[in-house]
Structure 1
Amino acid sequence: MRVAPQLFREVAGHFATGVCVVTAEDPDTGPHGMTLNSLTTVSADPATLLICLNRASTTHEVVARAGRFGVNILAAGQQDVAALFATRDDDKFRDLDWTRSPSGTPLLTGGVAHLECAVLHRHDVHSHTVVIGEVITAAAAGGPPLVFHRSRMSAPFPG
């Protein structure tokens, strides 16, 4: 017997997570990105993490072709950025400040941190692909992160 998707979303929503935008560059169509909250550190030595990408997203295919991706950890107050990257808009980067890493990965400015990863492994699970990446660059600006809890984005919980 399977748990109903709505019940699963409700129960899983009680686990607070950070909000990230995963980015990658396609040489023909430019930068792509999508909002996600499925980010987990796997190992500190070597620095490794995993993300889960919906296979229906264009960003999924761009990450697969590029072989690398950026993880942009959003700051409290960046709900508009998270909402933008949750859409299917073809030009999400047009009105944002962003840069490219030396290897060409698009990175958003204004977040609390970002990482750049090389794809190590990919595992398809139902509608998503679990992507394991080795961190090749990382930087933190600090400040409070954007948090997702019970289907809402907000600043971190007090105290």
Structure 2
Amino acid sequence: MDPREFRNTLGHFATGVTVITATSDKGEQIGLTANAFSSVSLEPPLVLVCIDKKSSSLQTLKKDIPFAINILQKEQEEDCWRFAKRADDKFAGASYTVSEDGVPLLNGNLATIECNVAEVIEGGDHYIVTGHVKNAAYDDSAEPLLFFRGKIEQIMEAEMA
């Protein structure tokens, strides 16, 4: 299978956009954009996120380390791109608070899920990080930021005739 063709095919599945945040054992705040996110289980509450093996942030996510999944809403496109790029301080200019566990939580999210790393599993060129959910919150009034065919999509509201 041609990798580019496979990637293009997968791009036809619209996904939400998340920013994974954590704090390293050295106190450094880390954040990275990811759209490979899913729920795993309701009992116990588990989620997963897939992170490229080349990610410099990956070394922070070890068993029992707290992290957060910030599910972005359509007004957070700037955060999507801020955390997708390599930078010395990705949090410069970002609006966030810090959780009781010391994890940065972006403000204005569609939803926020706070977890502890349950397992890190090898999966091809990515690692699958499962998280045991400790806390979750959402905003019913916001609309999701979506990724489709390799770009951000805006949800178009149907006009009433």
- Name the TM-score, length of structure 1 as normaliser: 0.92
Specify the SS of the correspondent of 2:61: helix
1-side partners of 2:116 and 2:25: how far apart?
17
Are residues 158 and 8 of structure 1, via their aligned partners in 2, closer, same or farther at CA, if it must alter by over 3 Å? farther
Correspondent of 1:75 among 68, 73, 76: 73
1:3-152 matches, within 5 Å, as: 3-64=1-62, 67-142=65-140, 143-152=142-151
Which amino acid counterpart does residue 114 of structure 1 have in structure 2?
A: T
For residue 153 of structure 2, what is the aligned residue in structure 1?
A: 154
CA contact (8 A) 1:24 1:31 kept: yes
Give the AA of the match of 1:152: K
Q: What is the CA–CA distance in structure 1 between the aligned matches of 2:63 and 2:38, rounded to whole Å?
A: 22
CA contact (8 A) 1:17 1:37 kept: yes
C-alpha distance in 1, partners of 2:27/2:154?
33
For the aligned residue pairs, the C-alpha RMSD in angstroms reads: 1.5
Q: Given that residues 79 and 146 in structure 1 are in contact (C-alpha distance below 8 angstroms), is that contact kept between their aligned partners in structure 2?
A: yes
Structure 1: runs of 5 or more not aligned: none
- Give 1:153's aligned amino acid: I
Kindly state the Cα deviation for residue 28 of structure 1 after the two structures are TM-superposed: 2.3
Secondary structure at the aligned position of 1:6 is classed as helix
> Unaligned regions of 5+ residues in structure 2, if any?
none
CA distance in 2, matches of 1:89, 1:95: 12
Deviation, 1:117, is: 0.8
CA contact 2:63–2:119 (8 Å) conserved in 1? no
Q: Partners of 2:107 and 2:53 in 1: how far apart?
A: 26
Measured in 1, the distance between the counterparts of 2:19 and 2:25 equals 19
Deviation at 1:64, TM superposition (A): 2.3
> Which SS does the other structure have where 1:57 is aligned?
coil
